[in-house]
Amino acid sequence: MIVKKVLCTEGLTGFYMDDKEAIKEGAKPDGFIYRGEPKTPGFKTVRQSGQAVSVMFVLENGDIAYGDCAVAQYAASGGREVPNTAQALIKIINKEVIPYFEGKNIKEFKKTAEEFDRKLFDGVRLPAPIRYGVTQAILETVAKEQHITMTEVIANEYGIELELKPVRINAQSGDERYTNVDKMILKEVGMMPHGLINNVEDKLGKDGKKFLDWVKWVKNRIQDIGDPNYKPVMRYDVYGCMGKAFNNDLDKVVEYLIEVEKACQPYEVFVEMPIDLKSNEEQLKGMKYLRKKLDEAGSKLKLIIDEYANTYEEIVQWVDAKGADMVQVKTIDLGGINNIVEAVLYCKKNGVLAYQGGTCNETDKSALVCVNLAVATQPFAMAGKPGMGVDEGVMIVNNEQQRLLAILKAKKEGLI
């Protein structure tokens, strides 16, 4: 399918970009903003509006395929790229992407996406948000030409036998840690509640008591208002705050994690980024130490790595080192979506759980494409995104998944 024209336009994401270091260091909330000076290069304010760029391929048959470029909520954290504005991304797209694709005949996804994702323009790869959005458009182009779903394109090109079963959806609470938990319970999301525990004093407590009390409340709330058969997997993201609260005394962190596990019983529990040791090497050593000590204590609590496993190459390193029980495959940080597929498959092949995550700061389009990837590759869970309101992100992801499963089942049964 020949790309006749490439168009792009500015857009909005489902959330905001936040300076995580400033928040961890005590930037004070004021309404929906934070007061204080930014700590991270590229931020003009602690919280700033999320921006996206839609890249549209006008195809020779009149169809239009598109993808959305966006930046993670916590840009520039843990080795991620600095925040990019929509205008800055559009300048690069106009210079490099449009001449690269106009007139190009796209016949397959994998080869086309890999070539673009790895190509050097003026000696460097394009920013990850651009590679992310453009490869979404490539995948949709191939699906439109072949008149099949994007899920089927992935399955066909990567040799995957489709399993027609839903992937559990993870919901994020944001700062509405009580109201949003109720929403999750009513919608019976498979993995929850996230927590957004990104500040020690306000959210974890210097002795960890604030967080522990909330964890107990979540468990009791599930049992109080949830269906008796509803058994979600618990996932808490603490952004290194446990380590910060205990001065990175890893033995104390282990003791605290065991308390959290007890508070969550009888539910399976995952904790993401209990520590943040500021370098990949130290983070890997620290996470492996936590796992060793948890094993020695007989703990079944599982650890998730997010930052420091940003790229496909870094994910491979963490998987090979068995540095965590689960890797968050941070969709938006991997550049080309071909890397998401490869990362999930690599995790599964090597006995490490994969959470196909991303960020609340994505768009409806990137979320829909990611659902197609997840239905094909079957990670342990996928993010309900974008946004922090629960309802919108869970709806977008759930409904696309249900549509796909209905279509694929009908095809398998010869009904269509």
Closest listed residue to residue 306, CA positions, set 82, 39, 114, 72: 72
d(CA 345, CA 355): 11
d(CA 129, CA 332): 7
d(CA 236, CA 193): 7
* 229 three-state secondary structure: coil
d(CA 373, CA 354): 13
| Catalytic-role residue among 203, 244, 330, 385 | 330
* Degrees, nearest 5: CA angle 251-252-258: 95
Q: Please report how many Cα atoms fall inside a 13 Å half-sphere around the Cα of residue 33, on the Cβ side.
A: 9
CB 106 within 8 A of CB 140: no
Examine the residue annotation and report whether 293 is marked as an active-site residue of this protein: no
CB 331 within 8 A of CB 340: yes
Backbone torsions φ then ψ of 301, nearest 5 degrees: -55, 140
- Report the 10 Å Cβ neighbour count for 20: 26
Q: Show the tokens assigned to 5.
A: 């024209």
Backbone torsions φ then ψ of 395, nearest 5 degrees: -60, -50
d(CA 161, CA 163): 7
Closest listed residue to residue 128, CA positions, set 84, 67, 177: 84
d(CA 389, CA 233): 19
Cα 96–chain centre separation: 27
> So which residues are the catalytic ones?
330
